Amino acid sequence: MLTQLVLITLLIIGAAYFAMSEIALAGSRKVRLERMAEEGDHRARLVLNLKENPGYFFSVVQVGINAVAILGGVVGEAVFTDVFAAVFAYVVPPEALTPVSFFCSFLLVTILFVMFADLIPKRVAMSCPEKVAVRCISPMVTLIMLLKPLVWLLTVLANAIMRMMRVPLNNQDQITNEDVIATVEAGAKAGVIAPLEHTAITNMMGLENHLVPSAMTARDSIIYFSLDESDESIREKISLTPHNKFLVVDGDIDHVLGVVDGKQLLKLYADGESLSIRKPGIVQPIITIPDSLTLTETLDLFKKESSDFAVVINEYGLTVGIITLKDILWPVMGNYDVWADDQLLVERADGTWLVDGSTPVDDIEREFGIESMPEEETYETVSGFIMYMLRRVPKRGDFVEYAGYRFEVTNMDGFHIDQVLMRRADHHVKHADKAEKVEKAPEGGADASAADQINPGGTK
């Protein structure tokens, strides 16, 4: 009796070991195991090797689990049936004693194995899979060596069936951007990652999906100096647009010579010297990049070249804009007002928004909870979105409506959309109803202009 109880206990321990090993290997993360291996834990390297080729491992586990379960049933039935028969001898009729005792024995053995050989071990393995995996790996390697002939046969048969079902034999454990973002979001919900860190990391991961034009200053907004620029003109441009750096061109903006530091010019002005661009050492070299680069590639280039300013050209060699390190970092910080002077989205008191035409559509989606824009891979900015929807170059007063919002062009700079008024579509309807109650003033009057702003005409 005692021997059989000890045997059942050993069988439960064996089944628990196999169950823990299976869950631990399947649930352990490759990144953590690699870090443990780099720190000198050779067992972690063994686990990584098994994860790369898990066929033998799972075959041994299944052989072990099934063999232990069968032996446990046989031994348990022999031990506990007699015990229950003695207990129920004076309660249960003789003709029903054997089946009742067998059923109770079966139920007890099942409960013992389910609780102590399955549920509890698996929950332990799920809570810390890497630690359990490295502790279970050494005996498992020995078992694999001992059962290799049987395991080989089972593995060959299993692989053949898997190929017939067209199921991949190995799990490609590759970490994607989505995996990292999901981990960051889980950390933010748990309070481990601060909101600012969550925003910055998520937006940083998105830089790879955006090209330089989505963040650059467009060609028609660039302030530059020519070689023969007069001192008066230079002083005027610096006072009106106090940038840190200015392009220097030879004739026109498509022939960029370099860049000049605004602080250096201010120092010359303070010393009473001439601001001539032709002075030696004034013009510095500048990086030139194609407009097909992603923001991530541009960031890497800035780091490599120890620079924070670049000219953007198109496939024809024409200058299409400039981009700075600040332009890349602004969207990374999301809604946090790091540089107040550069806000592209400005909320007004009436609940509407003034939106710069160069605002990336991703910022609009994130700010207003819009899931996606139509065919957004064909454009990068709000200006491009409106042109795509209208299928033409817009004019002041044109508007489109999408996702419950109305995008109205309020200012044009040539063919470029400079500013957009954004509001909820129902917000426009409410204001239009109020406008109907106002007596319309003569055409061209101040009241007419006000009414036009409340309910402007346009093409949807």
Q: What is the SS3 string spanning the chain?
A: CHHHHHHHHHHHHHHHHHHHHHHHHHHCCHHHHHHHHHCCCHHHHHHHHHHHCCHHHHHHHHHHHHHHHHHHHHHHHHHHHHHHHHHCCCCCCHHHHHHHHHHHHHHHHHHHHHHHHHHHHHHHHHHCHHHHHHHHHHHHHHHHHHCHHHHHHHHHHHHHHHHHCCCCCCCCCCCCHHHHHHHHHHHHHHCCCCHHHHHHHHHHHHHHHCEHHHCCEEHHHCCEEECCCCHHHHHHHHHHCCCCEEEEEECEEEEEEEEEEHHHHHHHHHCCCCCCCCCCCCCECCEEEECCCEHHHHHHHHHHHCCCEEEEECCCCCEEEEEEHHHHHHHHCCCCCCCHHHCCEEECCCCCEEEECCCEHHHHHHHHCCCCCCCHHHCCEHHHHHHHHHCCCCCCCCEEEECCEEEEEEEEECCEEEEEEEEEHHHHHHHHHHHHCCCCCCCCCHHHHHHHHHCCCCCC
Q: What is the mean pLDDT of residues 218-247?
A: 85
Let me know whether 118 and 55 are in one domain: yes
Digit-coded pLDDT (tens) for 286-332: 999 998 898 889 999 999 999 999 999 988 889 999 999 988 887 77
**Domain for residue 447, yes or no?**
no
**Domain for residue 448, yes or no?**
no
Band of pLDDT at residue 1, cut at 50, 70 and 90: low
Band of pLDDT at residue 422, cut at 50, 70 and 90: very high
Let me know whether 147 and 15 are in one domain: yes
> Distance between CA atoms of 156 and 176, rounded to whole angstroms?
32
What is the tally of structural domains in the chain?
4
Digit-coded pLDDT (tens) for 235-267: 888 888 778 889 999 888 999 999 998 888 888
pLDDT at site 27: 87
Query: Are the C-beta atoms of residues 215 and 295 closer than 8 Å to each other?
Result: yes
pLDDT at site 287: 93
Last residue of a domain, one of 333, 354, 370: 333
Return the higher-pLDDT residue of 324 and 90: 324
pLDDT exceeding 70 applies to what percent of the chain? Answer: 88
**Domain for residue 322, yes or no?**
yes
Last residue of a domain, one of 297, 313, 333: 333
**Domain for residue 456, yes or no?**
no
Last residue of a domain, one of 311, 333, 355: 333
Q: What is the mean pLDDT of residues 367-383?
A: 85
Let me know whether 221 and 302 are in one domain: yes
Let me know whether 23 and 158 are in one domain: yes
**Residue 445 in this model has a pLDDT that exceeds 70:** no
Let me know whether 66 and 108 are in one domain: yes
Let me know whether 190 and 222 are in one domain: no
pLDDT at site 388: 92
Let me know whether 391 and 288 are in one domain: no
Q: Tell me the residue range of the domain where 235 lies.
A: 211-333
CATH of the domain at 409: 3.30.465.10
Band of pLDDT at residue 166, cut at 50, 70 and 90: confident
pLDDT at site 286: 92
Let me know whether 329 and 419 are in one domain: no
pLDDT at site 192: 79
Let me know whether 381 and 267 are in one domain: no
**Domain for residue 37, yes or no?**
yes
What single letter denotes the amino acid at residue 61?
Answer: V
Let me know whether 263 and 317 are in one domain: yes
Let me know whether 111 and 197 are in one domain: no
Mean pLDDT across the chain: 81
Let me know whether 51 and 25 are in one domain: yes
**Domain for residue 44, yes or no?**
yes
Return the higher-pLDDT residue of 163 and 175: 163
Band of pLDDT at residue 438, cut at 50, 70 and 90: very low
**Domain for residue 460, yes or no?**
no
Band of pLDDT at residue 457, cut at 50, 70 and 90: very low
Q: What is the mean pLDDT of residues 199-215?
A: 80
**Domain for residue 383, yes or no?**
yes
Out of 71-75, 236-240, 334-338, 398-402, pick the least confident. Answer: 334-338
